[in-house]
Structure 1
């Protein structure tokens, strides 16, 4: 599948002689070397691709460069070096007028802070992007009404922003992005300002919308649990660099370095991992070792624990044709849950004690 969005060796440097700073970074200088000269390297040699209809999550701590990276993707910030291609078009080579046209019709952005106009109704806020495009009033109101319904705000069209809760205001921001029917949505910490329960509700809303609309989305967050829940692929940033790109299972099971591994310590692995991630690979010749109750490679971790609790032998993992592809011993399940002590559960050993964590990829 061809990529919809491609970032190629992006750099963003603030300060004096940015071009010279990029060359120093390419020769092996780091952020601290440049900072001593009064120059800040916000993004360093970032490359990735996003396929159509996928959610690509960029995560990292504050100051890691993730929001700067996002702003280069739609031209709000000009890269010091590198290229951004959208549907094969090099956005970094466009004129200001051409870039504004792309942003108004093909790329929408949902901000962390709702950025609603207080003097406009919910409907008028949702239709704002279409107004900028010059869409006639009747058509933009119809499309905005449909977008509000998708975002769960049917019946609120005539309300004012200050009459809405924070979660509802964020839904208006999402509806505004959807109304333009843009091919690419850029979401910058869009749920970070919300209370935990509302935040999870917005995540649910985005997941459901994505099933219907199949938009291409780049989502910025500092919350790994959110990244794991939403992302088809996840990029982890540190000090301006992307240090790992992979699926949620890749990040959990095969962290690229200690920094990535430290991020995963507090993640609820049972919500992310599947049988394919935790099984020991086997061949058909080992089939006789396993009992009759089986799981598929996509069986969720929690369900796998329940199966393991019902049988004395390792759980067999079989493909769609019934062929054996792996086995999951009970102690391996315990290992992937980590070595934290807690109440006995279905994946605990008979005495209710956990076993030390299995090393990633073991």
Structure 2
């Protein structure tokens, strides 16, 4: 196989991904933005012997004692879908930054594959040509560092445009892009300042603007907010989520803060000693911890920060029905009419037909409606509580196709808050 053929081999030709200790099926490999397959990373000279001991099941400490090789990861397999935020979470030394740095080839992989979708084709960054890896780094993958990684002898504008400059983008086009990204992070008036004139939070915004300026599809973020004060960190987390709603990038985010991971992550990989011990959604992690290590992490979490409504609702299959209507209350006076595709179309309240109120994924749009409200099933529980307070009737939840998914009333909310994972 030639180097070019190796770069262009399809994800579907490879063995399907397996996700450790997660009951949910893995995303089909052809749909991944980033896919890690059985990735072993080792630091030291006698790597072959260390891998052999790893295959025998020896621990990281035992392998290091015998070979003087540090195993950074053990057969890590992950799938990251386009447009999602995947958080690598764990204590110091768990291997999360080691995995992150393998995605753009900064850490050498001893065994396994790291597949990155570059210009519509999967590229294995562990085996591709140096020129291809350089293209991936310039055009597809951008990185935001914990310590900002800014060039102190350059202005804010020149720092943000540095990646574009390396790419050879003309100055006029580069400045237009830089101005746009600085406005996006609220720093347009600081463009000509030197970076040392900015506070820590502002410097981190410069790092974000620089990453977004390259228009890379994949962003790697290595504990970017951990050195900041709590209030600044919380604000930048909100800013990142807002930017993500607008730009829909694929983000792999390293954190040692569980609250941050649960707030940001569509899915979270919990790491311990170089292993991924659980990979799933925030509610999966909190409701169904895979082992005692994960359970210890999550035992003090506030469910309002974690659960979506799907975790507490009564599913559609358990609701009472009368013909094409679903009974929403104990008396049978509140009914929901469905079409043939199981999509809610109207409500009937004490014999009177009424239109449905609709809200978005944040809970906005319902208003003080006198009728039945329909919301997406992934509505955060906090938003569901507020919505139920504004409506006299249970909330109806629908899936991505608009089909009835379930029902949430006060009873479901109370049970969700009282759950003890």
TM-score range for the pair, normalised by the shorter chain length: 0.7 to 0.9
CA distance in 1, matches of 2:405, 2:113: 45
Tell me the residue number matched to 2:139: 105
- Out of 46, 52, 64, the residue aligned to residue 76 of structure 2 is 46
Kindly state the Cα deviation for residue 15 of structure 1 after the two structures are TM-superposed.
2.2
Report whether the alignment pairs 1:30 with 2:64: no
Q: Scaled by the length of structure 1, what TM-score is found?
A: 0.85
Partners of 2:174 and 2:80 in 1: CA distance:
29
The counterpart of 1:301, out of the listed 381, 384, 388, is 381
Counterpart-to-counterpart distance in 2, 1:250 and 1:232 = 11
Q: Residue by residue, what CA displacement relative to the aligned partner does 1:248-304 show, whole Å, maximum 9, x if unpaired?
A: 111111111121121112322212212310235452347668445787544432355
Q: Which residue of 2 aligns with 1:351?
A: none
CA distance in 2, matches of 1:157, 1:274: 40
1:32 to partner: Cα distance: 2.4
Query: How far apart in 1 are the matches of 2:159 and 2:52?
Result: 44
Number of the residue aligned with 1:346: none
- 8 Å Cα contact 1:234/1:245 also seen in 2: yes
**Deviation for aligned residue 1:317:** 5.4
Paired with 1:29 and 1:111, the residues of 2 have a C-alpha distance of: 33
Change (3 A) 1:157 1:39: same
Structure 2: tracts of 5 or more residues without a match: 1-29, 335-371
- In structure 2, distance between residues paired with 1:236 and 1:133: 35
Q: Deviations over 1:36-83 (max 9, x none)?
A: 222211111111111111111111111100001111110011101111
Counterpart CA distance in 2 for 1:134 and 1:322 is 49
Aligned to 2:253: 219
Structure 2 partner of 1:18: 47
Alignment match of 1:80 (pick from 94, 105, 110): 110
Partner of 2:169: 135
Q: CA deviation at 1:160?
A: 1.1
Shift of residue 33, structure 1, vs aligned partner = 1.8
- What's the TM-score once normalised by structure 2's chain length? 0.73
Q: Look up the match of 1:243.
A: 277
What is the CA-CA distance between 1:334 and the residue it aligns to? 4.8
Identify the residue that residue 175 of structure 1 maps to in structure 2: 209
Matched, 1:279 2:359: no
Equivalent pairs counted in the alignment come to: 339
Superposed, which structure 2 residues align to 1:54-203 within 5 Å?
A: 54-87=84-117, 88-203=122-237
Q: Secondary structure at the match of 2:231?
A: helix
Between the aligned partners of 2:374 and 2:132, the Cα distance in structure 1 is: 53
Which structure 1 segments of 5+ residues have no match? 339-356
User: RMSD over aligned Cα, in angstroms?
Assistant: 2.7
CA distance in 2, matches of 1:97, 1:235: 31
What is the match of residue 31 of structure 2?
Answer: 2
Deviation at 1:154, TM superposition (A): 1.2
CA drift of 1:16 comes to 3.7
Give the distance between the partners of 2:123 and 2:390, measured in 1 at CA: 55
Q: 1:298 to 1:290 in 2, by over 3 A?
A: farther
Higher mean alpha-carbon deviation, 94-103 vs 126-135, is at 94-103
Matched residues in 1 for 2:75 and 2:405: separation? 42
**Where does residue 325 of structure 1 map in the other structure?**
406
C-alpha distance 289-122 of structure 1, shift in aligned 2 (>3 A): closer
TM-superposed CA distance for 1:96, in Å, is 2.8
